[in-house]
Amino acid sequence: MTRKILIVDDDQKTRTLLKAYLEKNQYEVRLAHNGESFLAEFQRYVDELSMVILDVMLPDTDGFALCKIVRQRSNIPIIMLTASSDETDRVVGLELGADDYIGKPYSPRELLARIKAIHRRMGTESNAPPRFYRFNGFTLDAVERTVVNAESEIVPLTGLDFQLLKYFVEHPGDILDRGILCEETRGRDSGPLDRSLDVQISRLRLRLNDDGKQPFIIKTVRGAGYVFSADVSVSNV
């Protein structure tokens, strides 16, 4: 399946953020900063694109005009980004052929969810989970149930340690409480005096060369749980 998305937005910070986030989630991203550059990219990649994302407010045109041009040339999905709370803008975009719209401000995670939802409706989004999770020089293979370091050496992990790490890399940046982690790895909640999870976390940090006193991969959130703070990229190859 083609997973190439063309995004036009006049804000450089937004473009950079969206590109990085979507590429981490296995999408190829092309960027444009105004209508002219968008049309050039669209002309070049029209047969390869799986979606276009249009900011309504642009310096040289607007997203509505671009939406009309895209729809004249192709049936690929279109998502509109609008800072306006006016329902009229949303209705106009949908009437011109947009498939969805997102109001600003929005999170990259919300945009990704909308992209996947549209692709699922079209039957072009695979529901298969990713096989490989890469972070800080390590690669976790969910099929072979192995972890290798940057030197391609296998990191020795117990079955429970692997299950815990897999859950962490599937939820990077999320604060995970002790109950959830114990449930996912042991099938039960932990009691107030149960320190087995802490021992397991310490062992996992050691295997990942994560400083136990000042960890940078698996961090403790006092009174809340743990968070996997490393950047994680996923793929099936």
One-character DSSP codes across 87-117: HHHHHHHHHTT-SEEEESS--HHHHHHHHHH
- Report the chain's terminal Cα–Cα distance, integer Å: 14
Q: Regarding predicted confidence, which is higher, 184 or 176?
A: 176
DSSP classification of residue 57: B
**Is pLDDT above 70 for 228?**
yes
Residue 160's pLDDT band, with cuts at 50, 70 and 90, is confident
Q: What does the pLDDT read at residue 186?
A: 63
> What's the rounded Cα separation, in Å, for the pair 166 and 141?
9
Q: Regarding predicted confidence, which is higher, 220 or 212?
A: 220
pTM of the predicted protein model: 0.55
| Residue owning tokens 């020089």 | 137
> What's the rounded Cα separation, in Å, for the pair 82 and 105?
9
Residue 2's pLDDT band, with cuts at 50, 70 and 90, is low
> What's the rounded Cα separation, in Å, for the pair 83 and 102?
9
Q: What does the pLDDT read at residue 138?
A: 97
Distances (CA, A) of 32 to 5, 44, 133, 165, 215: 11, 12, 29, 37, 38
Residue 188's pLDDT band, with cuts at 50, 70 and 90, is low
Q: What does the pLDDT read at residue 62?
A: 92
**Is pLDDT above 50 for 212?**
yes
Distances (CA, A) of 71 to 60, 74, 91, 125, 170: 19, 5, 16, 21, 36
Residue 56's pLDDT band, with cuts at 50, 70 and 90, is very high
Q: What does the pLDDT read at residue 182?
A: 83
pLDDT digits (tens, 9 = 90+) for 94-104: 888 888 888 88
**Is pLDDT above 80 for 191?**
no
pLDDT digits (tens, 9 = 90+) for 28-41: 999 999 999 999 99
Residue 136's pLDDT band, with cuts at 50, 70 and 90, is very high
Q: What does the pLDDT read at residue 1?
A: 47
Q: Which helix (H) or strand (E) holds 79?
A: strand 78-82
**Is pLDDT above 50 for 120?**
yes
